[in-house]
Amino acid sequence: MKIDVVALGETMIRLTPPGYNRIEQSHHLEMHVGGSESNTLIGLSRLGLSTVWLSRLNCNPLGQLVASSLRSHGVDTSHVVWTAEDRVGTYFMERGSEPRHSEVFYDRADSAASRMQPKDLPVDLFEPARAKLFHTTGITLGISESARLTAVEAVNLARQAGWKISFDTNHRVKLWSADRAAPCYREMMQLADIAFLPIRDAKNVLGCRADQNEEVVRELACQFPNATIVLTAGEQGAFAVQPSGKPIHQPAFRTALVERLGGGDAFTAGFLSAYVRDQSLETALCTGAAAAAVKYTIPGDLPLFDRRAVERIAAGSGSTSANDIAR
């Protein structure tokens, strides 16, 4: 069966006290599996596509939990590299409530994924017509130099095989500085067919100066003329522009938030599910927004939505062109 999307990245174990409790007052922690690229693959898989995850895992119960979780949602994990050394990255999260922030602290140094190398890639997989699209994020670039080189090599292999390239900056300030990250992101975005950016990355990392979101999109389109640019702006919705096209806007759907984590990855899944089916940019943006909206209602990092629910919500909404906005 033809693969739709192959993605490369790290997936971690998230440990969170129940409800709004602080770790200090808790006797147990919820255990979730989460990773930007695998979250997106799970979303794609639930939306009906065929997906493969590339990564490196420690063969202890935490690594097995990561793999079994992905498999349960239909993601192919048979190309994962297993190691008896290293560790599985973890992160702890306390849910906040206004005015107390949610707090995340990572414990991911020296993880098995951070030690992946270009030679770990399953070269045979990167054949022409074997898959349609390769996806990775700035997190993979930031976790280690060898992980970054692996991602670059994977992009090159995928391009040689004629696959599309998708990249999401997803900058993590706790991983590396904007100064170090920016040139790496720019390198990827030059190679990408589609680039996702949160507005904060466009401004804080890539240095976009425009005030209006649609101006930011235009600015990025000038810098990366070969890529479809997708800018996400939280409650202001998402903006996109194709090479030589006009910016379009998709408002965010109203949601009663249950868990914020994983919303961006769900958006990417929704968008790509339309993209690899050759649907219009408007449809892709709208499907992305609907996928994110449903994800926000589901506990945990994973976009455990049903295809039907996403389509129903997407169908209830249109998108407006930048021309309309501009007026």
Positions that interact with a second copy (CB under 8 A):
15, 18-31, 60-62, 64-65, 68-69, 71-74, 87, 90, 92, 94, 96-101, 103, 105, 107, 109-110, 253-258, 290, 293-294, 296-300, 302, 304-305, 309, 313
Tell me which residue of 277, 34, 35 sits closest to 133, measured CA to CA. Answer: 277
Instruction: State the nearest-atom distance from the C-beta of 56 to a second copy, in Å.
Output: 16
Tell me which residue of 164, 170, 163, 165 sits closest to 151, measured CA to CA. Answer: 165
> Is the separation of the CB atoms in 266 and 289 below 8 Å?
no
Instruction: State the nearest-atom distance from the C-beta of 312 to a second copy, in Å.
Output: 9
| 139, containing H or E segment | helix 138-143
Amino acid at 82: W
- The reply to whether 265 belongs to the active site is yes
> Is the separation of the CB atoms in 273 and 263 below 8 Å?
no
Task: State both tokens at 223.
Answer: 């810098």
Shorter beta-carbon distance to a second copy: residue 96 or 225: 96
Please give the Cα distance from 245 to 222 (Å, whole number): 11
Tell me which DSSP letter residue 97 carries: B
Tell me which DSSP letter residue 71 carries: H
* Count of residues making up the chain: 327
Catalytic residue among 86, 120, 168, 265: 265
Q: Output the DSSP codes for 204-264.
A: HTS----SSHHHHHHHHHHHSTTSEEEEE-GGG-EEEE-TT---EEEPPPP---S--TTHH
Instruction: State the nearest-atom distance from the C-beta of 11 to a second copy, in Å.
Output: 14
Task: State both tokens at 267.
Answer: 């958006």
Instruction: State the nearest-atom distance from the C-beta of 137 to a second copy, in Å.
Output: 24
Instruction: State the nearest-atom distance from the C-beta of 40 to a second copy, in Å.
Output: 18
Amino acid at 255: T
Shorter beta-carbon distance to a second copy: residue 180 or 307: 307
Instruction: State the nearest-atom distance from the C-beta of 89 to a second copy, in Å.
Output: 10
Please give the Cα distance from 165 to 154 (Å, whole number): 10
Shorter beta-carbon distance to a second copy: residue 149 or 298: 298
**Placement of tokens 């609907």 in the chain:** 290
Tell me which DSSP letter residue 227 carries: S
Shorter beta-carbon distance to a second copy: residue 254 or 327: 254
Instruction: State the nearest-atom distance from the C-beta of 76 to a second copy, in Å.
Output: 10
Task: State both tokens at 222.
Answer: 């000038």
**Placement of tokens 């999260």 in the chain:** 93
**How many Cα atoms sit within 13 Å of 51 on the Cβ side?**
28
Please give the Cα distance from 155 to 163 (Å, whole number): 9
Shorter beta-carbon distance to a second copy: residue 21 or 242: 21
- Residues catalogued as catalytic: 265
